[in-house]
Amino acid sequence: MPSRTLPRVAAGLRSASERGLLALLMLMFLAGSVLPPGAASSPDLANRNSKAGHDHCQPSQELPEDRHNATKKAFPVLSFDYHHVQKPFEISLWVLLASLMKLGFHLIPRLSSIVPESCLLIVVGLLVGGLIKVVGEKPPVLDSDLFFLCLLPPIILDAGYFLPIRPFTENVGTILMFAVVGTLWNAFFVGGLLYGVCQIRGTDLGHVDLLACLLFGSIISAVDPVAVLAVFEEIHINELLHILVFGESLLNDAVTVVLYHLFEEYAGVGSVSMVDVCLGVISFLVVSIGGILVGTIYGILAAFTSRFTSHTRVIEPLFVFVYSYMAYLSAEVFHLSGIMALIACGAVMRPYVEANISHKSHTTIKYFLKMWSSVSETLIFIFLGVSTVAGEHRWNWTFVIVTVILCLVARVLGVVGLTYIINKFRIVKLTTKDQFIVAYGGLRGAIAFSLGYLLNEVQFPTRNMFLTAIITVIFFTVFVQGMTIRPLVDLLAVKKKQETKRSINEEIHTQFLDHLLTGIEDICGHYGHHHWKDKLNRFNKKYVKKCLIAGERSKEPQLIAFYHKMEMKQAIELVESGGGVKMPSAMPSTVSMQNIQPKKPVSDRVLPQISKGREEEIRKILRTNLQRTRQRLRSYNRHTLVADPYEDGWNELLLKRQKIIELEKKVGSFETPAASRSRWAEMTKMSNYLTVPAAAPDSPTMSRARLASDPQAYSSKPGSDNLPTIKVDLASPQSPDSVNLVDELSKRAGQGEEPDEDGGLVMKVPSSASGKDTKEDQNGAKDQQRLMRCLSDPGPSADEEEEDEPFLH
């Protein structure tokens, strides 16, 4: 082993206890002897978190003299050079520890439903920190650079990219009010009163001056997005409350940044003039608007870049990450609000990027964002725990207790007071319950800690006391409030999020309502929200989309995009249900087209066209999705990803599907999208697999693919029927390869319909096609049809929607 003169973290990690804890893992590593290099190289690939850990583990010191311990003796057959891999190795260990912990919590039944994950992680951090300390090493502290440059951005980008735009913009006034005025109020209330308390004789705090108190107040007053996300995601609160608290936590960054720099600046000087206050206000505007501007510019750049990536799909996701990170860093360069820049960047680029990139890239982006943010979050909480053990603490009972109480009081007063004002302007008023949850959800977190950690010990002799108080407040909010908020939500019967899929009807009526309200506003002659939103939409459609989105998709209206997405989903559902564990013997609903079709013959039914290329793409996706088994993880929050096994159940699946189809035939009903959807709903209930709310109308790219197959299962009896009442719509394009897959069936069915790929869509079979041939069509052609449809109906997999709006989970 190398000598002991190593950086503190390294030493801490190499300590015997640490190894004891992770002995098993290391054994695995060594046995395989693959992992160390693999782990070492992993951070270099792209993983910012690992880089983060990297920076962290060796904050600044580099000890070159320790590095050269090569020997000049006999050629070593087996050499030991831990130094060589030390840093990446330790980073990997930390990440691994974090991930394993996360994994472990959810293996323990019911634990994660009682205690929020963030609490458990902090406890783990405390334990690990304690262990490191017990063996006499110095545990690492959550380094501020590491935190702000590496751990925080993925979480914020994840939040910004998946920001539910609609509720956010609808409530932006309230959010800003809470974020700006609320944070200011909190900062000054806490800071001011704390100063008052410090002046009381006997508290032993007389040396704390006003500016330091205000600085402390501004650090402690900001609601933390990481903590809020971690807790709110698990309680499934309704959309309004979620966006209020979460939006506040994001937007208060600008206020915190300005206050922090302002007070830090003047703490040395000792006095603040009126001019400084004015400068502070201006600075706030610059910081926030500048941050948004920087983010928007990068967002547009990213969107524009993604327009040209159609030939290099592999690096598409990278642009999203790199542009966003650049936005964050660029904002930080000027001390603008990096968080706001990231949010703006993610929100601006998303609709355009999604229209441009391929389905796979979209999935990659989602997975990566989730993975990064998940690991970051885990590491942040663990490090919070470790840092608690590591840091030097100056525990002052008065100061700590007063801080905790003041924080609570300020929050409650702030929320109640602001709501009183806001409700005068709001149309949907905030009720008392809402206010309570907003107040109670004001969790503090690692941002406060990192800001406190950044303080200069020389300038602020009370830094350690501040840090102790900050940690106490964080622990109090995360543990007490975080753990009790779920029972309280249940107790108060606060409206929860509706976990329903958005139906096509709802989409139609939402859009209808939008236009209606815009129209009514126009008739009333005043220009309200709807009017401007409509103007913006039209501008977007007319100019922006043309510039930023390549090809046809720029013209696709939202409703159609939504529809295509639904179509695909249904197709996948159909396919997946076929491969599922359960044969749909009990089909809940069997409504088919002729149930709603007017009885007269309709002669102009034509199905949407699909291009050959698109179809191929679709088919590919379908194939991948088909091979997915139905073993899914229970989804518990946004970080849960669906398992993506590339398993070869293809043949088995196919057989099963055939059985199902035969079954269906016996039932004599047609699989319709509606039917499949409701069946799907049932299945999801069982498997607890779909826990996602409304799908975003702006759907991922792939879902826009025009699906050849109509969702309605029109069946046809080629060349066999004698009742030419309805004409047949061939449900799907039938391509040679799908036919191959099912060739027994197709043989049985006869060759009646084997159109070329493009022709399959608009298939009118005038005479052969037959009328309401639904009832007891035992003809094999039907099976074939249906099977064909199953096979060629592809789409984004069902997990699509699981991830689609993960963020409000």
Partner 1 sequence: MGAFQSVPNEHDFQELADKTGFSLEQIRNLHKRFKQLSHNEDTLRREDFNTISDLSCNPIRAQIIEAFFDKRNFHQDAEGSVQEIGFEEFLTVMSHFRPPELNMTEERREAVRREKLRFLFNMHDTDNDGTITLEEYRHVVEELLSRSGTIEKETAKAIADAAMLEVASITMGHMEPDEFYEGITFDHFLKILNGVEIESKMHIRFLNVDTTTMSCHK
Integer-rounded Cα Rg, in Å, for the chain is 30
Minimum distance, C-beta of residue 729 to partner 1, in the bound complex (Å): 10
* Site for partner 1 contains 427 (CB under 8 A): yes
If the CB atoms of residues 68 and 424 are measured against partner 1, the closer one turns out to be 424
If the CB atoms of residues 366 and 530 are measured against partner 1, the closer one turns out to be 530
* DSSP one-letter string for 249-277: HHHHHHHHHHHHHHHHHHHHH----HHHH
* Site for partner 1 contains 736 (CB under 8 A): no
Among 32, 206, 487, 668, binds partner 1 (CB under 8 A): 668
Minimum distance, C-beta of residue 669 to partner 1, in the bound complex (Å): 7
In whole angstroms, what is the distance from residue 47 CA to residue 484 CA? 35
* Site for partner 1 contains 82 (CB under 8 A): no
Strand partners, 764: 729
Q: Is the dihedral of CA 235, 238, 241, 244 positive or negative?
A: positive
Largest Cα–Cα distance of the chain, in whole Å? Answer: 102
Amino acid at 407: C
In whole angstroms, what is the distance from residue 518 CA to residue 524 CA? 10
If the CB atoms of residues 18 and 521 are measured against partner 1, the closer one turns out to be 521
If the CB atoms of residues 156 and 707 are measured against partner 1, the closer one turns out to be 707
Q: Segment near partner 1 (CB under 8 A), from 155-163, 461-469, 591-599, 748-756? A: 591-599
* Site for partner 1 contains 547 (CB under 8 A): no
Contact 301, 323 (CB under 8 A): yes
For 237, the 3-state DSSP assignment is: strand
Minimum distance, C-beta of residue 248 to partner 1, in the bound complex (Å): 14
502-531 residues near partner 1, rule: CB under 8 A: 502-506, 508-513, 515-531
Joined tokens for residue 505: 């009807």
* Site for partner 1 contains 599 (CB under 8 A): yes
* Site for partner 1 contains 559 (CB under 8 A): yes
* Site for partner 1 contains 500 (CB under 8 A): yes
DSSP code at position 109: T
Among 112, 203, 678, 768, binds partner 1 (CB under 8 A): 678
Minimum distance, C-beta of residue 310 to partner 1, in the bound complex (Å): 22
* Site for partner 1 contains 612 (CB under 8 A): no
In whole angstroms, what is the distance from residue 95 CA to residue 81 CA? 22
**CA contacts within 13 A on the Cβ side of 39:** 25
Minimum distance, C-beta of residue 99 to partner 1, in the bound complex (Å): 36
168-207 residues near partner 1, rule: CB under 8 A: 170-174, 176-177
118-177 residues near partner 1, rule: CB under 8 A: 170-174, 176-177
439-498 residues near partner 1, rule: CB under 8 A: 498
Among 469, 607, 696, 765, binds partner 1 (CB under 8 A): 607
The mark string for 759-788 relative to partner 1 (x by CB under 8 A, - otherwise) is -------------x-xx-------------
* Site for partner 1 contains 378 (CB under 8 A): no
If the CB atoms of residues 342 and 355 are measured against partner 1, the closer one turns out to be 355
Residue of 384, 385, 401, 410 lying closest to 465 (CA atoms): 401
Minimum distance, C-beta of residue 441 to partner 1, in the bound complex (Å): 20
Residue 471, Cβ neighbours under 10 Å: how many? 22
* Site for partner 1 contains 425 (CB under 8 A): yes
* DSSP one-letter string for 447-491: HHHHHHHHS-TTT-TTHHHHHHHHHHHHHIIIIIIHHHHHHHHHH
Minimum distance, C-beta of residue 549 to partner 1, in the bound complex (Å): 14
If the CB atoms of residues 110 and 600 are measured against partner 1, the closer one turns out to be 600
Q: Which residues of 701-718 are buried (b: 16+ CB within 10 A; e: fewer)?
A: bbbbbbbbbbbbbbbbbb
Residues 6 or more apart whose CB falls under 8 angstroms from that of 641 comprise 367, 370, 371, 633, 799, 803
Residues 6 or more apart whose CB falls under 8 angstroms from that of 106 comprise 112, 636
Joined tokens for residue 394: 């100056």
The alpha carbon torsion through 300, 303, 309, 312 (nearest 10 deg) reads 90
Minimum distance, C-beta of residue 41 to partner 1, in the bound complex (Å): 48
If the CB atoms of residues 450 and 594 are measured against partner 1, the closer one turns out to be 594
* Site for partner 1 contains 673 (CB under 8 A): yes
Phi/psi at 773 (nearest 5 deg)?
A: -90, 40
701-730 residues near partner 1, rule: CB under 8 A: 710-712
If the CB atoms of residues 67 and 555 are measured against partner 1, the closer one turns out to be 555
Among 566, 705, 788, 808, binds partner 1 (CB under 8 A): 566
Joined tokens for residue 796: 């984004």
In whole angstroms, what is the distance from residue 312 CA to residue 638 CA? 29
If the CB atoms of residues 444 and 706 are measured against partner 1, the closer one turns out to be 706
In whole angstroms, what is the distance from residue 690 CA to residue 701 CA? 21
If the CB atoms of residues 340 and 593 are measured against partner 1, the closer one turns out to be 593
In whole angstroms, what is the distance from residue 332 CA to residue 291 CA? 9
Q: Count the site residues for partner 1 by CB under 8 A.
A: 87
Among 296, 423, 540, 627, binds partner 1 (CB under 8 A): 423
If the CB atoms of residues 204 and 506 are measured against partner 1, the closer one turns out to be 506
Q: Segment near partner 1 (CB under 8 A), from 17-25, 274-282, 370-378, 555-563? A: 555-563
Strands (DSSP E) along 83-242, which ranges? none
Residue of 154, 205, 119, 144 lying closest to 46 (CA atoms): 154
* Site for partner 1 contains 603 (CB under 8 A): no
* Site for partner 1 contains 663 (CB under 8 A): no
If the CB atoms of residues 117 and 777 are measured against partner 1, the closer one turns out to be 777
Minimum distance, C-beta of residue 507 to partner 1, in the bound complex (Å): 9
Joined tokens for residue 403: 């801080």
